[in-house]
Amino acid sequence: MRSVLPNRDHQATAATHSSPVALSDLHTLCARTQDSCQQSVRQANVSRLLAALGRPERGLRGMLVVGTNGKGSTCALAVSAVAATGAQVGSMPSPHLQEPRERIRIDGVPVTRAEYAAAFSEVWQAIERYGLPVLAQGVFAASAAVHLRRAGVALAVAEAGVGGSRAAAAELGLEVKVVTGIGLDHTRLLGASVSEITQAKVAAARDGDHVVLGRLVPEAATAAERVLKQRAGLSVWRMDHEIHYTARAAGHTGHAGDHGPVTLIDVSTPRAVHRDLPCPLSGAHQHHNLALAIAAVDAMAERGHIREPDGELLRARLAATRWPGRLELIETRLDGWTAGRAASCWTAPPIPKVSRP
């Protein structure tokens, strides 16, 4: 089977591996892979690609987050909660806002351009060597696994791109599966009804997994139960059943840019009760996402992947969580006056640059 791009494109891209200023070309290249590869071969070839790379995902433990909405913010909050245990955690948000390197993060910070290019280069060489057409999501997932192996990071929070069992990130074998909520999305690929889409997403769960279900409409809840009954050895926690939360307004943070009272969330799971957790993200739906993230982190602790987070550090980490470009409130100065406005028209802030040893 031929590679997804002709050699001249690979050679042109190879130059970006030593030239960070040309890294944006990688996004174009990845987008072109999606046009060049049939959907039917994606999942099989992602597994083959990971095998060709020496199974970089083999040592990873953590969670895969699927659903129609709320995946990114749930992942961001989960990363903050895992970091509160003192462990390093990698994450794979999707999509990126500005550059592909945003899709690989350690403790919430995107990797450098050089780090991303090195991981991408290793993946692309395997694609070329073994002739494995892969969609863009497969390239991103494999690149993230390669980088986390290089960095010695064993914990991961991954966001599914499309679907659940079809998602490239499902091939990473993360044992905690999180379903944020389900509606109609990608109907051409997943099905025309909420029931069909639910089945496609929840099918990411495998025997022995720990499944954390967000609040689902009745049709989705029925379909999810039907899928999960086909799996063996599951642990299942459901919002409003095994998981509960309450929210209340509680004063101001006192921080610069504070636009109103902070919301505090109490979350209870079968493992623990967490009180006074700040939710820094806008919208009541984020209270649900925070509770879901905390439940997923408790599920990781239940499996022995992490220790219990320190309460004060957990609150501090959650309070510092940011998820840009999603109902983000920004300050804009116009002719001497300042107004906070929703980011319907905005320029994304620069990605933080950090030096890694």
Rg from Cα positions in the chain: 20
Q: What is the pLDDT of residue 331?
A: 62
Does residue 205 surpass a pLDDT of 80? yes
Does residue 118 surpass a pLDDT of 70? yes
Q: How many CB atoms lie within 10 A of CB 253?
A: 15
Q: What is the DSSP letter of 111?
A: P
What percent of the chain lies above the pLDDT cut of 90?
57
Is 170 exposed, middle or buried, given 0-12, 13-18 or 19+ CB atoms closer than 10 A?
buried
Does residue 168 surpass a pLDDT of 80? yes
Cβ atoms 10, 2 nearer than 8 A: no
Q: What is the dihedral of CA 205, 64, 198, 96, to 10 degrees?
A: -150
Does residue 139 surpass a pLDDT of 90? yes
Does residue 335 surpass a pLDDT of 90? no
Q: Which amino acid is at 314?
A: L
| Of residues 111, 108, 106, 102, the one with CA closest to residue 80 | 108
Mean pLDDT of the chain: 82
Pairing of the two strands 90-92 and 105-106:
antiparallel
The DSSP secondary structure of 269-315, one letter per residue, reads -SS-EEEEEEE-SSSTHHHHHHHHHHHHHHHHHHTTSSPPPPHHHHH
Q: What is the pLDDT of residue 123?
A: 95
Regarding predicted confidence, which is higher, 168 or 123? Answer: 123
The DSSP secondary structure of 217-278, one letter per residue, reads -HHHHHHHHHHHTTSSS-EEEEBTTTBEEEEEE------TT--SPPEEEEEE-SS-EEEEEE
Does residue 188 surpass a pLDDT of 60? yes
Q: What is the pLDDT of residue 4?
A: 38
How sure is the predictor about 96, in pLDDT bands with cuts at 50, 70 and 90?
confident
Q: 7-330 falls under which CATH superfamily?
A: Mur-like, catalytic domain (3.40.1190.10)
How sure is the predictor about 193, in pLDDT bands with cuts at 50, 70 and 90?
confident
| Of residues 83, 46, 297, the one with CA closest to residue 172 | 46
Does residue 340 surpass a pLDDT of 50? no
Does residue 327 surpass a pLDDT of 50? yes
Query: What is the rounded average pLDDT of the residues 45-69?
Result: 94
- Could you give the 3-state DSSP secondary structure of residue 350? coil
How sure is the predictor about 115, in pLDDT bands with cuts at 50, 70 and 90?
very high
Half-sphere exposure (CA, 13 Å, Cβ side) for 173? 12
| Of residues 110, 173, 162, 109, the one with CA closest to residue 137 | 162
Residue the block writes with tokens 């991103």: 140
How sure is the predictor about 82, in pLDDT bands with cuts at 50, 70 and 90?
very high
Does residue 346 surpass a pLDDT of 60? no
Residue the block writes with tokens 């379903």: 179
Query: What is the rounded average pLDDT of the residues 62-84?
Result: 94
Give the separation between CA 205 and CA 194, rounded to whole angstroms: 18
Cβ atoms 66, 211 nearer than 8 A: no
How sure is the predictor about 148, in pLDDT bands with cuts at 50, 70 and 90?
very high
Show the tokens assigned to 262. 């902070």
- Could you give the 3-state DSSP secondary structure of residue 190? helix
Query: What is the rounded average pLDDT of the residues 249-259?
Result: 57
Residue the block writes with tokens 């919002």: 239
Q: What is the pLDDT of residue 345?
A: 47
Does residue 253 surpass a pLDDT of 80? no
Which of 33-47, 136-150, 229-243 has the lowest average pLDDT? 33-47
Q: How many residues in the chain?
A: 357
Does residue 39 surpass a pLDDT of 90? no
How sure is the predictor about 9, in pLDDT bands with cuts at 50, 70 and 90?
very low
Regarding predicted confidence, which is higher, 151 or 24? Answer: 151
Which of 122-126, 158-162, 250-254, 332-336 has the lowest average pLDDT? 332-336
| Of residues 252, 313, 308, 309, the one with CA closest to residue 280 | 252
Query: What is the rounded average pLDDT of the residues 304-332?
Result: 84
Q: What is the pLDDT of residue 256?
A: 41
Query: What is the rounded average pLDDT of the residues 227-244?
Result: 96
Q: What is the pLDDT of residue 329?
A: 65
